[in-house]
Structure 1
Amino acid sequence: MTTRIAAVANAAYQLFSSVTEQGASSVSKDGLARLLQLLSNVGTKDVDFDTRLVTDASGTHSPPVLYLHIVENAALSMGIFVLRPGARIPLHDHPDMFGLCRLIHGSLRCRAYSPASASAAAAAKAALAARLLPRWQLPELTAVTLSTDGVFTSASQPLLLTPSEGGYHELQALGDGAAFIDILAPPYDHDLGQRVCRYYREVALPNSEEQNRQHLSADDEQQSKHVYLLEIPQPRDFVCGTVDYTGPKVT
């Protein structure tokens, strides 16, 4: 009999196997809904997850974040992230990728941003160039809008991130920590540099939105809702260790 986690992996492979060649538009909405439903039924017992990994740190140098690798192929990667109390996965991106997160233990906060449209981003940068920032800084900024800011638990539906929605995000463990199943499709491709994980921080503009609002036109008012991200090196406090996955085999 196919296990629940194997059924999820099989459905994900069938759904995402065409993304690399045909792009995100090839993903079936019905297939995605079915995959999310399958994933929502997976719990700690279905992956043989030991919740002591979340709260028990083995030694003072134990990493605050752990990863349990389940499977990876050309279409997707799947594993379990463990965030110990207070740990976070800093603001980063999933370029041209889908991300599905199913919390199986604890609680976490997800703050996710979506890329602004090319025209909106260009207009916003032009406005910033005129009012706030020197031109030499503008190419480093990525214009985004907030799409998700909420708390997720094992009672929540899986979190869905797409190439157009929520592709920039950070995750913060709450309370006693958290653990979630993570599916990325296609997987990162650091070898060829096609899908590389990059890290960001929000840029604080010289003048606050409230100070500028009285001087903004209707178009500028919309632009003021953008958040600007600056790419940075991987934060030094983000350390991710690995632990062997002991759950049902997935191929």
Structure 2
Amino acid sequence: MVVDAGGLVEQSKDITTVKHANNRVRYANKPIKKSNRWCKKRRRKVVFPRVREVLRLQQLFVSCREIFKGHGTVPPASDVNKLCNILDKMKPGDVGLSKNQFFKAAGAAIGTHPRVTYTTIYQCSEFSLCIFFLPEKAVIPLHNHPGMTVFSKLLLGTMHIKSYDWVHPKHSMPSSRMRLARLKANGVYTAPCDTSVLYPTTGGNMHEFKAMTPCAVLDVIGPPYSKQEGRDCSYYKDYPYGDGETTAVREEEGECLGWLEEIQVPEEAEMDRIQYLGPQIIQNTTTC
């Protein structure tokens, strides 16, 4: 299992990049069919993305390059607000997605979760821009973002999101791998909605996505996952709070608490990577 800088979990080496197909993701610029008639030659119509769409994505890219400073840094509040203002205005067309049904769940066996796919718009050592596509009932399991700041913009669909932060100082259950966490979010969100932000220790650093309808989520991650720099992805299972008793999550001094146990990478965490075919960002000679 390999952790990819542009996503959460990528399959082992025998899994290659999946070619773009309309049964997975449908971008706004559809391929144009050639005529089979030999007597007439038709010019192929070239469809360019609207300038507004390119400008929004380009603005996001340029701002990310200015804001993210790499390992061990967290953007200040002014920069967080700047990125949120850009992301809040972004729509599916800004990354080339059709407003119609944009993909179908494929290869999902009965009784299992449909597979999630993802595409990387851009990635470097300081940040990455990627989109996750969740068919209805698909799940991205509860996972963490060590040392990272993550902006999530729901572009399409309705999704249930649950998130936690660790309770400090470290509080664990006796003779157990479980650790106490504070519930930060547990609700349903429908696009268009405001951008959510999580930080290294606050804002719901550990979160879980469950698609109630087909969903697309644009993530800005800074810095990306990196085993070498201590930012490996871990997965968790949550349990009700209550000293090991099987009771409902209860309020403790106005806060909802729960136990989190680190687990092996779950099957539903495996994703297929597809090629990004939306509007392209423009890079100058200065690289990040």
Displacement after TM superposition at 1:160 (Å): 0.9
Displacement after TM superposition at 1:49 (Å): 1.5
Q: Number of matched residues?
A: 223
CA distance in 2, matches of 1:33, 1:238: 30
Match for residue 67 of structure 2 among 4, 12, 15:
15
Match for residue 77 of structure 2 among 26, 29, 34:
29
Quickly say closer, same or farther: Cα 1:193–1:54, change in 2 above 3 A. Answer: farther
Counterpart in the other structure of 2:234 = 198
CA distance in 2, matches of 1:77, 1:109: 24
State how 1:1-251 maps to structure 2 within 5 Å: 3-17=55-69, 19-21=70-72, 23-24=73-74, 27-50=75-98, 54-58=102-106, 64-118=115-169, 121-122=170-171, 125=172, 128-129=173-174, 135=175, 137=176, 140-163=177-200, 164-175=202-213, 177-190=214-227, 192=228, 194-204=230-240, 206-208=244-246, 222=253, 225-250=256-281, 251=283
Gaps of 5+ in 1: 130-134, 214-220
CA RMSD of aligned residues (A): 2.7
Structure (1 or 2) with the greater strand fraction: 1
SS in 1 for 2:265: coil
Gaps of 5+ in 2: 1-50, 284-288
Quickly say closer, same or farther: Cα 1:28–1:233, change in 2 above 3 A. Answer: same
Q: Is the CA contact (8 Å cut-off) linking 2:108 and 2:115 kept in structure 1?
A: no
Greater gyration radius: 2
CA distance in 1, matches of 2:266, 2:229: 20
CA distance in 2, matches of 1:57, 1:226: 34
Identity %: 25
Deviations along 1:157-216, one digit per CA (max 9) or x if unpaired, are 0111111221011000013x10010111110003x1510011000135532558xx9xxx
CA distance in 2, matches of 1:89, 1:197: 12
SS in 2 for 1:147: strand
Displacement after TM superposition at 1:60 (Å): 5.6
Deviations along 1:131-182, one digit per CA (max 9) or x if unpaired, are xxxx3x2xx222210011122222210111111221011000013x100101
CA distance in 2, matches of 1:208, 1:223: 20
SS in 1 for 2:230: coil
CA distance in 1, matches of 2:232, 2:255: 29
**TM-score, scaled relative to structure 2:** 0.70
Whose RCO is larger (CA < 8 A, sep 6+)? 1
Counterpart of 1:235, as a letter, is P
Structure (1 or 2) with the greater helix fraction: 1
